[in-house]
Homo-oligomer: A and B are copies of this chain.
Amino acid sequence: MSDNKDVSLESLGEFGLIDHLTSQIEIKNESTLKGIGDDAAVLDYKGKQTVVTTDLLLQGIHFDLVYTPLKHLGYKAVMVNLSDVYAMNAIPKQITVSLGLSSKVTLPFVEQLYEGIQLACDKHHVDLIGGDTTTSLTGLTISVTAIGEAGSEDIVYRSGAKPNDLICVTGDLGGAYMGLQVLEREKRVHEGNLKVQPDLSGYDYILERQLKPEARRDLIEFLKEIGVKPTAMIDISDGLSSEILHICKQSNTGCRIYENKIPIDHVTSLMAEEINMNPTIAALNGGEDYELLFTISMADYEKFSKETDLKIYTIGHITEESKGKILVSNSDQEIALQAQGWNMGSHH
């Protein structure tokens, strides 16, 4: 896809561009009857329930093209949405992608973005079924809508947590935020605002957490395998603190989580130390980790003893609403959990 450097988008036209970008798309799911190419896509779900989620990503708010490779950006734009589908205990099947493009962008620019979108779709067996492509006067705009399916008994809402349920989380937290700090520092160096060139090597893990997050399909498959349906579930896009508060609010419960149980990778801790930040703060408020936070009844706990490569941590438990939403710190202090200040749409 690299001989197109001189092709202008205007010479292709909107329909030419869409044809070009979507010509190699093969339909992966039986429920996709018709994808791109008509007024709307056509889906067919026989008796299954359908979930729908959407996210809008804007240049300068959600991504910085200075340090975000376009392929990664396309990949991440899809992952963010698939993550929401998995958080319903559903399996994503289709996405639509709308792009607002500056008239200055070149075909290879859009191709790289699409390569990432395609890669994400392939990896998660999802069909790209439609979208809209338009000129933008003001930078890149990406809007993704994902559609998934689940058996009607399987869908997990945020509202089902009960006192004594265990609170679990996958993977590790705070890494995406710390990766962002590395990138922002790098950007300042290139802008000449820092004297010393920092060394990017050794930060690979948290850079990948920021630039190429992976939605946790593996947890959903594992839960099915061991026969556990969480009582509540949410994905971690805004930070652990904000997400656990959502579950408590919608379930009318309190919670008690333990700082020393929150999984944090050592590279995350290392970078936090470098910039004099408490890594727990990054985990609580950093966001963009796209791990899954879920609650299970005590009775299901032993089913998690089955061997898996998937990292799942129990970080606390649900309490009566009157007990409050509490973080027990490493020094055994009880701290009320708070949603971070609103930075509308900015997870940074």
Contact = CB atoms under 8 A, between A and B. Distances in A.
Classify chain A: how many residues form its interface, as a range. 35 or more
A44 interface: yes
Interface stretch (A22-30, A295-303, A325-333, A338-346): A338-346
Contacts of A346: 134-135
Interface stretch (A151-159, A258-266, A276-284): A151-159
B342 A13 contact: yes
Interface string A36-71: 011111111111011111111011111000000000
Interface stretch (A86-94, A189-197, A219-227): A86-94
A4 interface: no
Contacts of A339: 13
Contacts of A252: none
A129 interface: yes
Contacts of A50: 42-45, 50
Interface in A225-241: 233-235
Given A54-B145, A88-B42, A60 B131 contact: no
A33, A45, A47, A339, most chain B CB atoms within 10 A: A45
Contacts of A44: 49-50, 152
A342 B14 contact: yes
A10 interface: yes
Majority SS at the chain A contact face:
strand
Nearest to A33: B49
A105 to B, nearest CB: 11
A132 interface: yes
A345 B18 CA distance: 12
A100 interface: yes
Contact of A98 (B42, B51, B55, B235): B55
A148 interface: yes
Given A45-B45, A56-B132, A61-B136, A344 B38 contact: no
A107 to B, nearest CB: 13
B137 A60 contact: yes
A41 B53 CA distance: 6
A147 interface: yes
A38 B143 contact: no
Contacts of A60: 137-138
A140 B302 CA distance: 50
A104 interface: no
Nearest to A137: B60
Interface in A81-132: 83-85, 87-88, 90, 94, 96, 98-101, 103, 129-132
Contacts of A269: none
A323 interface: no
A324 interface: no
Contacts of A250: 37-38
25 contacts: A13-B342, A14-B342, A38-B157, A38-B250, A39-B53, A39-B84, A39-B85, A39-B233, A39-B235, A42-B51, A44-B49, A46-B47, A56-B98, A56-B100, A56-B132, A56-B134, A58-B134, A58-B136, A58-B137, A59-B137, A61-B134, A61-B136, A134-B344, A134-B345, A145-B145
